[in-house]
Amino acid sequence: MRLEDKTVVITGAASGIGRSTAERCAEEGARVIVTDVDTEGGRAVAETIEDGGGDAEFHELDVTDSDQFHAVVDAVAADDGLDVMVNNAGTGHPAGSLENLEDDIRDFVIDINVKGVWNGCHAALPHLKEQGHGAIVNVGSLASILGLPKQSAYSMSKGAVLNMTRAVASEAGPYGVRANTVCPGFTETSLLDQYLEDQEDPEKARERMIQQYPLKRLAEPEEIADAILFLASEESSFVNGHGLVVDGGFSA
């Protein structure tokens, strides 16, 4: 098992990519700490893992709350140790030109997508550096490397995640700690559904989107979870500061 006896903290794990990542890590032997603001969904994920013979527990966590983030990570590290921090929690915003995007929407996106990842790194790094090993996996986006039209705040936030990860990798590498980013293309999650709902014709918008991918389909959450698992495990032991694009060839 690739994560046997490892403790993995995952944010935004109540659904989508986070849930699939929690389930994959548990299958690979990890003790999984499921965190989310969605307490009902988060507990359900932890219970599903436990019912399947895995090891999981749930902690309510608002990633924009630095004090709460530190409290959760410190408690987990004290009780179970900490080996992997997966900063997955994220949000999008309705499509709109930059000049028409309201400040509160921009700030909401930055608070979750950028400050939330910052808070996760800030809370985890002292423990990982002190023990001399560990991995941080941040979830970026295709928008980390491409500027998506009418998604200026989202693109800005995900670009920041990738470059912040590079900075963390440079700083923490000498302590034996790796940091990488997974950059998914459009994935079949509730975030995608919200994006499509904002389009004039959601079905036509979905079909246009699919046609832009050489594989002629969108990603499944499990496929992104497999990429996260790779970066969390020792199979990627010499991968550091990297943005792993998982987009079905879109950016090609």
Task: Kindly write down the DSSP assignment for every residue of 65-79, as one continuous string.
Answer: -HHHHHHHHHHHHHH
Q: Residue 34: what pLDDT?
A: 98
Q: Is 175 a catalytic residue?
A: no
DSSP 8: E
pLDDT at 229 over 80: yes
Q: Residue 125: what pLDDT?
A: 98
Q: Residue 126: what pLDDT?
A: 98
Q: Residue 186: what pLDDT?
A: 87
How many angstroms separate the CA atoms of 235 and 241, rounded? Answer: 15
Mean pLDDT of 229-248: 98
CA nearest to 30, candidates 58, 57, 5: 5
Q: Residue 42: what pLDDT?
A: 98
Secondary structure (H, E, C), 104-123: HHHHHHHHHHHHHHHHHHHH
Mean pLDDT of 210-237: 96
Instruction: List, in sequence order, every residue forming a beta bridge with 219; answer none if it has no partner.
Output: 187
Instruction: For residue range 35-86, list pLDDT tens digits in order.
Output: 999 999 999 999 999 999 999 999 999 999 999 999 999 999 999 999 999 9
Q: Higher pLDDT residue, 229 or 198?
A: 229
* Catalytic entry in 154, 175, 195, 213: 154
Percentage of residues in the chain having pLDDT higher than 90: 86
pLDDT at 16 over 80: yes
How many angstroms separate the CA atoms of 31 and 16, rounded? Answer: 19
Q: Which residues contact 53 (CB under 8 A, 6 or more apart)?
A: none
How many angstroms separate the CA atoms of 170 and 250, rounded? Answer: 29
Q: Residue 150: what pLDDT?
A: 83
Give the mean pLDDT of the chain. Answer: 95
How many angstroms separate the CA atoms of 101 and 84, rounded? Answer: 35
How many angstroms separate the CA atoms of 81 and 76, rounded? Answer: 6
Q: Residue 105: what pLDDT?
A: 95
pLDDT at 248 over 80: yes
Instruction: For residue range 179-223, list pLDDT tens digits in order.
Output: 999 999 989 887 777 777 777 788 888 898 899 999 999 999 999
Sheet-wide strand order for 55-60: 55-60, 31-36, 7-10, 84-87, 134-139, 177-184, 243-246
pTM for the model stands at: 0.95
Catalogue all structural domains in the chain, each as residue range(s) with its CATH number. Answer: 7-186+221-243 (3.40.50.720)
CB 7 within 8 A of CB 78: no
How many angstroms separate the CA atoms of 193 and 198, rounded? Answer: 9
CB 75 within 8 A of CB 127: no
